[in-house]
A and B are shown apart, each in its own frame.
Chain A
């Protein structure tokens, strides 16, 4: 299981490597500039610090500011920031690009004397620019925010608050907090929340996502994923962290297929799909997969107290959503639960009308990589199977039969425990 702690350890290791690589002059004295960023956080259906199993909580801190709106704020872990040197008589110089690795703020250490950006100045006047980009790890995949014309968003600058003359050996601490947003309802507010939500998914799946830019267009009329590097977040879903993570779940599946499309026929009840309304099995499976990715991006499946849910639907409870077992085959939320059961540590007993126990505690990354074994094509078991009920969970399971340890336990967990065994076996 890839945990946040492991990722942060990777950050630290990479920090040491990068710091060594960045050094340009053995005689150069460094400067260290520290600051703390926060953004206004009004997200819903995301675990908070008091909720068990939160991988990285939303609503991290309540602040009763005297000069800014009260409310919940969160540190943008994984956000990219640039540190610049302010110059009044010429263009400012970029000192470097850094990634925030801690939910408490960060310090940027950089060479000064002899660096190209010194530009004859004795000491820098550093300031921060928050970029509209997040990463799961320092060298890992990125999500870049773009507007609906596909133009990359600019950042947020604190040039007006630049420190003056950061000297060698001094403590160059930016006073107070730097607030990326104070109003979550602006375009910028929704962008900051959606980027941070996306970062949760990147942090979970960094090791298998491709390293190209993934573009997040915002604010759209509807959340959707388009290909292996593009998704959109709807204007009314910037406060729904599971929306961005869900679309990234589609992006991940497309990347595993190495295909810019998914078999996803959601036309059984007209357009759209709902968590608990019957759909064709390709829709229930593809959308359920994305829902599971969102859940596992926010909640830790190894914590038995985790309580992932969306739109009020509990993804942990053992009881199937439909009272008649076979009626669950086309239910999206039941597929979310099935993948969660495959991943989680808790192996609960069967609950009626299901007949089998949850027997598996697999690995988040291994579960995702099972999509990569699908062959390209439109035949049965292939990634674009031309059938409203395929690709479904049987295709997922059967394509990896020789791979799973405890194959019976895997089948019981995915199908018998979740009443999904009546999905089409073709």
Chain B
């Protein structure tokens, strides 16, 4: 047996060992909800991931931001626009999945003013009597879009954030430029007694070059 053959067999044995071990060292992840919205891409048609009977699930859209302004998601309507709208679930035989159409220009919906929008696609699961130890539960995915003169365009989260929540650069304590956002303020409604905070580190330490950000 040549050294190459030995080496190759050793490699195969190693690969088999790794392959056997791999399933057991799988990524530790979060559980799948009983019903969820799967974001398919740029449009407004969304696949539904259902691990429960169709009849126990309801899908709605809920506006969070309308024409640039964050709204009260618990309100019935904002300027005549219903905040919550129930969506139909339809069967896609080709894909073997249910989907929902969340296009904001649906029949019966009032015209949308220009601006940036965000809304939740909310899936509500209400278990039947056959489900042991279960109560209703909610899953949400956020979608973003912009309306311009009667046309609508989906936005990514990053594009939405760039429009409504732009950042800028400032010098951090190390003198390096870092992106930050400007905070908002609101008038105080109640007075509060505020306790002392714990000082983690005095700014005096940063007169010394070489201090890192790790652990700070």
- Do they bind each other? yes
- Cβ distance B49 to chain A, nearest Cβ, rounded Å: 10
> Which residues of chain B are within 8 angstroms of A275 by Cβ–Cβ distance?
31
Tell whether A234 is near chain B: CB-to-CB under 8 Å. yes
List A contacts of B180 (CB < 8 A): 129, 154-157
Q: Are A185 and B31 in contact (CB under 8 A)?
A: no
The reply to whether A96 and B201 form a contact with Cβ atoms under 8 Å apart is: yes
For B64, the chain A residues whose CB sits under 8 A away are 183-185
Query: Which of B30, B161, B165, B193 has most A Cβ within 10 Å?
Result: B30
Pick the interface stretch among B4-12, B83-91, B95-103, B126-134: B126-134
Interface core residue of B134, B172, B186 (most chain A CB under 10 Å)? B186
Chain B residues with Cβ below 8 Å from A65 are 186-187
**B211 CB to nearest A CB, Å:** 10
Contact assessment for B157 and A311 in the assembled complex, using a CB-CB cutoff below 8 Å: no
* Residue pair B172, A154 in contact (C-beta under 8 Å): yes
Given contacts A97-B216, A185-B118, contact A15 B197 (CB under 8 A): yes
Known: A101-B198, A107-B194, A312-B127. A234 touches B204 (CB 8 A): no
A80 cross-chain contacts in B, Cβ below 8 A: 200, 216
Cβ contact within 8 Å between A45 and B213: no
Q: How many residues of B contact A (CB 8 A)?
A: 84
B170–A157 CB distance below 8 A? yes
Tell whether A361 is near chain B: CB-to-CB under 8 Å: no
B27 lies within 8 A of chain A by Cβ: yes
A102: nearest chain-B partner, CB-CB:
B195
Residue A175 is within 8 A (CB to CB) of chain B in the complex = yes
Contact A246 B30 (CB under 8 A): yes
Rounded to whole angstroms, the CA-CA distance of A187 and B165 in the bound complex is: 9
B203, A188: Cβ atoms closer than 8 Å = no
What string of 1s and 0s marks CB contacts (under 8 Å) between B1-31 and chain A?
A: 0000000000000000000110111111111
* Bound complex: CA A2 to CA B182 (Å): 36
Write the nearest CB–CB distance from A45 to chain B, whole angstroms. 7
Q: Does B106 make an interface contact (CB < 8 A)?
A: no
**Residue of A with least CB distance to B158:** A187
Residues of A within 8 A of B178 (CB): 152, 154-155
* Shortest distance from the beta carbon of A256 to any chain B beta carbon, whole Å: 13
Cβ of A345 < 8 Å from any Cβ of B?
no
- The interface bits of chain B over 173-216 (1 if a CB of A lies within 8 angstroms of the residue's CB, else 0) are 10100111111111111001111111111111011000001111
Give the interface size class of chain A.
35 or more
- Per-residue CB contact flags for chain A residues 360-398 toward chain B (1 = under 8 Å, else 0) read 000000000000000000100000111110000000000
Per-residue contact bits, chain A 169-187, to B (CB 8 Å; 1 contact, 0 not): 0000001111111111111
**Cβ contact of B72, chosen from A44, A69, A240, cutoff 8 A:** A69
Number of A-B contacts (CB under 8 A): 319
Contact of A15 among B132, B140, B187, B199 (CB under 8 A): B199
Residues from 245 to 299 in A contacting B, C-beta threshold 8 Å? 246-247, 250, 261-267, 272-277, 282-283, 286-287, 290-291
A332 touches B132 (CB 8 A): no
B188's partner among A14, A160, A175 (CB-CB below 8 A) is A175
**B167 interface residue (CB < 8 Å to A):** yes
Q: Cβ of A105 < 8 Å from any Cβ of B?
A: yes
A-B contact pairs, 19 of them (CB 8 A): A24-B202, A35-B194, A71-B70, A71-B72, A95-B203, A99-B197, A101-B198, A107-B197, A138-B198, A154-B167, A160-B182, A177-B185, A183-B118, A186-B160, A311-B125, A312-B134, A312-B136, A317-B133, A387-B24
Q: Please list the residues of chain A having a beta carbon within 8 angstroms of any beta carbon in chain B.
A: 11-12, 14-15, 18-19, 22, 24, 34-36, 42, 44-45, 63-71, 80-84, 91-102, 104-111, 115-117, 128-130, 133, 138, 142, 152-161, 175-188, 211-213, 219, 222-226, 234-237, 239-240, 243, 246-247, 250, 261-267, 272-277, 282-283, 286-287, 290-291, 309-314, 317, 319-323, 332, 378, 384-388
B interface residue numbers (CB < 8 A to A):
20-21, 23-34, 36-37, 39, 51, 64-65, 69-73, 118, 120, 125, 127, 132-142, 144, 157-158, 160-161, 164-165, 167, 170-173, 175, 178-189, 192-204, 206-207, 213-216
